[in-house]
Amino acid sequence: MGEISQDAVEKYLEENPQFTKEYFYKKLRVEALGEIFKNSQAMVKASVTFPELTQVEESALCLELLRSMQEEASSAELVTHRALQRLAQLLQADRCSMFVCRARNGTPEVASRLLDVTTTSKFEDNLVAPDREVMFPLDTGIAGWVAHTKKSLNVPDVKKNSHFSDFMDKMTGYITRNLLATPIMMGKEVLAVVMAVNKVNASEFSKQDEEVFSKCLNFVSVILRLQHINYLYSVESRRSQILMWSANKVFEELTDVERQFHKVLYTVRTYLNCERYSIGLLDMTKEKEFFDEWPIKLGEVEPYKGPKTPDGREIIFYKIIDYILHGKEEIKVIPIPPADHWTLISGLPTYVAENGFICNMLNAPADEYFTFQKGPVDETGWLIKNVLSLPIVNKKEDIVGVATFYNRKDGKPFDEHDEHITETLTQFLGWSLLNTDAYEKMNKLESRKDIAQEMLMNQIKASADEIKSVLKFKEKLNMDVIEDCEEKQLVTILKEDLPDPKAVDLYEFHFSDLSITEHELIKCGLRVFFEINVVEKFKVPVEVLTRWMYTVRKGYRSITYHNWRHGFNVGQTMFTLLTTGRLKKYYTDLEAFAMVAAAFCHDIDHRGTNNLYQMKSTSPLAKLHGTSILERHHLEYSKTLLQDESLNIFQNLNKRQFETVIHLFEVTIIATDLALYFKKRTMFQKLVDACEQMQTEEEAIKYVTTDPTRKEVIMAMMMTACDLSAITKPWEVALLVANEFWEQGDLERTVLQQQPIPMMDRNKKDELPKLQVGFIDFVCTFVYKEFSRFHKEITPMLNGLQNNRMEWKSLADKYDEKVKIMEEEVKKQEEENMNGKAAQDSGDGGDDKKSKTCLML
């Protein structure tokens, strides 16, 4: 049998495909697959093209790419490099390249990542270092155009394509004739553009080449997508960590902007992914002091001609904070940095502060506009490569500083995601300035308040001479300085000079202050404290008590009704309820002390207008206190006096006792708000009903005193009874309150341009008696009727109220009679007018048909 040639065998196998298939599966399939899994590269020759691949060899190629993806999953560039090598072989392309897509400064671009990949080239030679990247905007070059259109492009002749740029050819000396380019997509986002350049042994890439190109790039697409997903996860993780730690640290420091920024920036340093960053803080002064302007106006100093921030401030960095993260971590603070400091000499921070732009620069030292330092910036030998600079803007959109980040840790340039992360950080820092601004404003307001309080105290606090007018130690003890006097001596001389309580009717419900001077009322007030035996018991210094009493008198304004006389009358009524009314048995000496003191202070600094007027006029008091506006002001004023040691009549109490006193001040003074009266009167009525059922006085005392709330309800109602007590006093006293109401009505009419209610309308003063009767019946009668039922000793107040009601009712009846007479006269006049008109009409009836013109003529 003769020798069989290869051609004959191939011819036989081609003519007998069934035999060929059976023989392959029987003899060769196992060996072929085993060879593939043992060494996939052995099955594909380096010179074979895609049409020459068998099905097995094509599978081996796919498996090779899959294995490289598995083995080099951490390096997408290395996997892509191997795929491009195979592509160059299969497509018979001279070389392949990959351009990555990204955005900087809000502008998308493509940048070379793998260049001139051939079947034999090394990865290290083809990988483009960040400082040697070639970038194209999307409107330049075929790579940019493919990224822009997101479509593959087969260019048979680049010279005939308007999008082709010969920039790379001029730079490398290479001549591009034809190319095939495809975008790598992830959703609608372009991750990269892969190019096969110059078809070997043909003038252009074929349709089959396009199919092979697309098929093989599926593997590249998978690894690039995986890398991009991992990168986005890292970005979002860093962003969330930065925001979390920023929020955590920004509220730890509210006193100072520098300390606040430092805490945040130092805490998030590990998530910023850079080698170094600096913060330049800008001077926030918008206007110079007048004395700083003199040298400029006199021509001694040149006016500032440098750049300014968008809001017109001179760009002056008063401090630089430099965070070094490469090598040994270190923080450098440079106060008043010189203009040639390495962070400022480039001019970039000034440019950012002037324009408010985000600047992302690749290979910054090579930039022609900014003069970055090309050599090492310090003794560590560290060099500037890539720079990202952003303004720090507060909520008012003022630029307060500039943050600059240097050199991404992986050597790549900062991208749009780095911009977003750092912008998030700087925005958070800028907005967080609201905290420090608010804290600074609060501190200033606190300081202003302290100053105002000091000024107020200087004006209202009783002077030494005023104290001498009451406490006459110089005349009686022959002492020039009160500090030289013993406390017992001061007590003795003061008590000697105080009025006799019986002589001035201090214990009487019908007490009237009309015959007593305001200065004498101060002495009467001092007498009250001695009468309830609290001065010696609680070791109240006589000088302090006198000063406090005199200062309270000065704290009342000189207004018509809610003045010092009213304040004293309320304090005297409280004293009378406790003593003559025998309500003291429910309260301790300390509680009685606090109740009387609070009663004297209850309307201190009253403005002569009520809470409704404060709200209508949107006064500062209304803005400060939402409810019980004036009452809360009186309370705060009273507490302010007690903060001064020389006015604190409770200075010798222990902490718990003092807290009790302050609480009783709150209960007593706030209770004078009539808006709260209707809430508490039902509770008070139930207490009275319960006490009325008690068989003995001891039972009633135990019932009230064992529950602090019951004591407070009675105390609050006592305060209401005291505050309204003018309406139970002699007729002359009861008339005074009306004048102040009319004055408020005048203010509402002139200042607020509003019609006052009838009670406060001077023009309707004749209706006042009727209104007063209604007020007595609706508000006052319940208070004094229930107190008379509670303690019969308080009945004189109810009697006084009823007497005054009779007076008001008499005036109201007279007014009603007068109104009735006037209405009858008006009605009678109208009837006469109607009758006269009717008679005139009937008398003129005969002339109706005559011409009016003739009559006139």
- Active site residues per annotation: 562
Q: At 84, is the secondary structure helix, strand, or coil?
A: helix
Please check if 772 is assigned to a binding site: yes
Q: Any residues with CB less than 8 A from the CB of 447 and at least 6 apart, and which?
A: none
Which residues are 319's β-sheet partners? 281, 335
Please check if 418 is assigned to a binding site: no
Alpha-carbon distance of 147 to 186, in angstroms, equals: 12
Please check if 448 is assigned to a binding site: no
Q: Any residues with CB less than 8 A from the CB of 323 and at least 6 apart, and which?
A: 265, 266, 269, 276, 277, 278, 279, 331
Q: Any residues with CB less than 8 A from the CB of 258 and at least 6 apart, and which?
A: 281, 319, 321
Q: Any residues with CB less than 8 A from the CB of 694 and at least 6 apart, and which?
A: 700, 703
Sign of CA dihedral 140, 146, 149, 150: negative
Interhelix angle for 487-497 vs 518-531, to 10°?
A: 120
Torsion of the alpha carbons at 269, 272, 276 and 280, rounded to the nearest 10: -80
DSSP string, 44-76: S-TT--GGG--HHHHHHHHHHHHHHHHHTTT-H
- State how far the alpha carbon of 388 is from the alpha carbons of 273, 278, 362, 499, 818, in Å: 12, 11, 9, 83, 89
Spatial contact of 633 and 661, defined as CB atoms under 8 Å apart? no
Backbone angles phi, psi at 16, to 5 degrees: -125, 70
Interhelix angle for 207-250 vs 257-267, to 10°?
A: 130
Alpha-carbon distance of 351 to 343, in angstroms, equals: 13
Nearest Cα neighbor of 321 from 251, 380, 260, 371 is: 260
Please check if 602 is assigned to a binding site: yes
Please check if 610 is assigned to a binding site: no
Please check if 139 is assigned to a binding site: no
Spatial contact of 637 and 604, defined as CB atoms under 8 Å apart? yes
Interhelix angle for 697-705 vs 674-692, to 10°?
A: 140
Alpha-carbon distance of 565 to 561, in angstroms, equals: 8
Please check if 564 is assigned to a binding site: yes
Q: At 162, is the secondary structure helix, strand, or coil?
A: coil
Please check if 132 is assigned to a binding site: no
Please check if 634 is assigned to a binding site: no
| Residue positions forming the annotated binding site for Zn(2+) | 566, 602-603, 723
| Residue positions forming the annotated binding site | 562-566, 602-603, 723, 772
| Residue positions forming the annotated binding site for AMP | 562-566, 603, 723, 772
